[in-house]
Amino acid sequence: MTKVTVAEEWLNACAGCEIAILNVGDVLVDLLVNNLEFVHIPVLIDKKYFGQTGEDKELSIPEAVVGIVSGGVRNEEHKEVLLEMRKKCQILIALGTCATDGGIPAMINMYSEEELKQFYYKDSPTTDPAEYPTEHIPPLLDQCYALDEIVKVDVSLPGCPPHPDWIAGAILALLDGKTEFKMPERSVCDACPTVRESKKGIADIKRLYMAAEYDPEKPLNEMRCLLEQGLLCLGPVTGVGCGGTKGAPRCISARVPCRGCYGPVRKGAKPLVDYMGALASVGFDPAKMPDRRGYLARFSGAHGVLKKIG
Amino acid sequence: MGKTLNIAPITRIEGHASVSIHLDDTGNVSDARMHVLSLRGFEQFVLGRPVEEVPRIVPRICGICPWHHHLASNKAADACLGVELPPTGRKLRELCQMMAYIPDKILHFYFLAAPDFVLGPDADYSVRNVVGIVGANPELAKKVVHMRYKGQMLLEKFAGKVIHPVAGVVGGFSKPLLEEERKEILAGIQELKDFSIFTIKFAREEVFPKYLDAVKILGVFPSGYLGTVRPSDGALELYDGELRMMDKDGNFDQFTYPEYVDYIGEHTEPWTYLKFPYSRKAGSLNLDENDPVGVYRANTLARINVCDKMATPMAQEELEIFRKEFGRPTHLTLLYHWARLIELVQACERAEELLNDPEITGREHRAKNIEPRAGDGVGCVEAPRGTLIHHYKTDDNGMVTMANMIVGTTHNNAPMNLSVKQAARALIKDGSYDQGILNRVEMAIRAYDP
């Protein structure tokens, strides 16, 4: 059997997606030995952009059937690498919510570059104030972008990080000759086993310093829905999948509310608007919600969702 | 006119950086630098957020050590809101800290560092990686993958998420540990401990001796060190204690977390986004690898240097072997790998101790009656790469008004640069270099990775 060539890159990323690839587990070794040939993956292989002795003038990545890219696009180098990946890979997978929707790092889209650098290089309590660095480093773009704002993306696997079930599922589908792999367009609530009592009239929203009520000896399907308990759970406006193809939502398993790490339920959805409806449905006044943007666009600040303040 | 070699990306590390090596007319190294190419802005975008939400945001600083950011952030948020933790909550957090350490160290040693040691720094890049390791020793490779995975899944099953965790909450932990969970985790930890002891013995007897020559020349320079110790006896601490800043001769100051601003300053250079922390006591920072000023290092070797002893018995035996051979402090950069495995043993032993502590299954896992307030809190833990410092201030509603974070990689920015320069100067002579030599320069950086 011919091995399928794979190139992998990370842009404005944290490496959590790459660790999630490793968390595919024992199956991964067999895939690595029998099915996949990584031709480029900086976290594991020493392939260099400018040749192995660093003397080439142009950045180059080898050709591959499948390209996997994690992270958003925040600076000129990210953009250059992404364009090269698109050019060299037949099928491009956006891996993780940073790649599909900007992820947490896209929260910076609320602020100007000047604000960011002013604190970091001048105002921080430990920093000796200095001019901003500019030499031999790629300039920042005006904001942090999702991949599909720059290039065509073939497969989107959101999640912070994506559950290994979906990573393995997509790889196996591609090995099987398929060119498509789609995540279900349902919400976290659809996979959540907790009990909705549908009684209106929550007295007050509980912030995260207040605990959920539950009996730890009893399973999740005997715990009352956290949103109904007053905790700001973003399940209603978040894409399903964090528990894998079968499991319960991960945060709910830890008895804490969802924060939206799989991004919107479907492309183009408006979590900010939809969540106001969800709050109203449990009887809470949406106007009382604190730090709305900080909750509702925490993982999805690309695609123009988060704009600069002021 | 000389030329510049661009080594990009630096590989088999976690993160985004490149190296430029500048050669003069004679082909010798005039300068070498490590450039960190991104600036994400966590300190900016946590402003205005409820402080108890910050531990759910900052794990994305690093997907390899998200638990450590999660826990340091929780500690800072606790301090802002003036919360005292019940003992069970504190111990559950420490248990997760230990359980997060174990797979990380297995990953780093076997997947990121081992290709240089097992296959050799001169092996072609196409085999000098984890796939090459699988080819060279398939049984061991399968065992490594399985043990790392097992460690990750034990934590995930208990705490919900293993990457970018959520179970640490202001005031403690979101759920208690049930007795059946305790038994299952303990059995897993015992298996991981056996594997860890096998690993350090294997490395000590079969891997490191072959590379002692490289250890003695690659990235070697005198510096200070930063790490955490147990206040009662100076033992190496991975979760909670006081910070120790040692100078290159082994003298040290010991201080509490909020005092960090008196001991650490940060300097900026024009050619990298990453700042350069330095020891305030030295008064300034000088990046001369022969006579550095203000430079200190963090991460495994730093902790092994600053501590008086290890906190657990088998790790202590390993420290004694290490100290007998290399003394204290030792400035040999590649010994980070050896120090890493001594800590791996302590993390396993400490996890076992915690799981055998009757309080670990207590039901007081979270403080009650927490209220927002104006506050100023510093939370630290030792991440695999070095001390994490999370410092937040809040307003009356418990919203963040200031966040200053100094993380593992940042502490090591100056030493990584000096290691690169020292290694490049030692290895590149009269315009002669090849892939193996450039890989050795990168090895000096890889030592500092998680």
pLDDT (0 to 100) of residue A310: 67
- Are the beta carbons of A241 and A159 closer than 8 angstroms? yes
Q: At what angle do helices B87-107 and B66-81 cross, to 10 degrees?
A: 160
Q: What pTM was computed for the model?
A: 0.97
Strands A140-145 and A73-75, sheet pairing: antiparallel
Model confidence band, residue B290 (pLDDT cutoffs 50, 70, 90): confident
For residues B139-153, one letter each, b for 16 or more C-beta atoms within 10 angstroms of the residue's C-beta and e for the rest, the string is: ebbeebbebbbbbbe
User: Is the ipTM beyond the 0.95 threshold?
Assistant: yes
Burial of A55 (0-12, 13-18, 19+ CB in 10 A): exposed
pLDDT (0 to 100) of residue B427: 94
Distance (Å) of CA B243 to CA A71, B169, B211, B312, B343: 34, 24, 32, 19, 17
- Are the beta carbons of B312 and B239 closer than 8 angstroms? no
Q: Report pLDDT digits (tens) over B155-197.
A: 999 999 999 999 999 999 999 999 999 999 999 999 999 999 9
Model confidence band, residue A72 (pLDDT cutoffs 50, 70, 90): very high
Q: Where are the beta strands (DSSP E) in B134-179?
A: 168-169, 172-173
- Are the beta carbons of A286 and A280 closer than 8 angstroms? yes
CB-based contact (8 Å) between B268 and chain A? yes
Residue A52 has its nearest CB partner, among B62, B125, B404, at B125
- The closest of B163, B175, B191, B169 to B360, measured between CA atoms, is B175
Q: Report pLDDT digits (tens) over B234-248.
A: 999 999 999 999 999
- Are the beta carbons of A183 and A154 closer than 8 angstroms? no
Q: Please, what is the end-to-end C-alpha distance for chain B in angstroms?
A: 38
Q: At what angle do helices B335-355 and B179-202 cross, to 10 degrees?
A: 160
pLDDT (0 to 100) of residue A114: 96
- Are the beta carbons of B266 and A128 closer than 8 angstroms? yes
Q: Is the peptide bond before A184 cis (omega within 30 degrees of 0)?
A: no
A20–B404: do the CB atoms touch at under 8 Å?
no
B63–A14: do the CB atoms touch at under 8 Å?
yes
CA–CA separation, A197 and A180 (whole Å): 39
pLDDT (0 to 100) of residue B111: 86
Reply yes or no on whether the pLDDT at B433 is more than 70: yes
The answer to which of A29-33, A81-85, B109-113 has the lowest mean pLDDT is A29-33
Q: In chain B, positions 147-206, which contact chain A (CB-CB < 8 Å)?
A: 148-149, 152-153, 159-167, 169-171, 174-176, 178
Token digits of residue B18: 């490149």
B131–A160: do the CB atoms touch at under 8 Å?
no
Tell which of B133, B154, B164 to mutate to test the A interface (max A CBs under 10 Å): B164
pLDDT (0 to 100) of residue B231: 98
Residue A75 has its nearest CB partner, among B37, B52, B141, at B37
Chain A contact set for B62 (CB, 8 A): 14-15
- Are the beta carbons of B253 and A116 closer than 8 angstroms? no
Identify the helix (H) or strand (E) that includes residue B316. Answer: helix B313-326
Q: At what angle do helices B138-159 and B179-202 cross, to 10 degrees?
A: 150
* CA B95 and chain centroid, separation: 17
Residue type, position B280, single letter: R
B260–A126: do the CB atoms touch at under 8 Å?
yes
Distance (Å) of CA A42 to CA A150, A196, A273: 22, 46, 39
pLDDT (0 to 100) of residue B132: 87
Task: Chain B: give the shortest CA distance to residue A52, in Å.
Answer: 6
Strand partners, B400: B394
Strand partners, A70: A10, A95
Reply yes or no on whether the pLDDT at B1 is more than 80: no
Reply yes or no on whether the pLDDT at A129 is more than 80: yes
Token digits of residue A96: 């993780």
Reply yes or no on whether the pLDDT at B42 is more than 80: yes
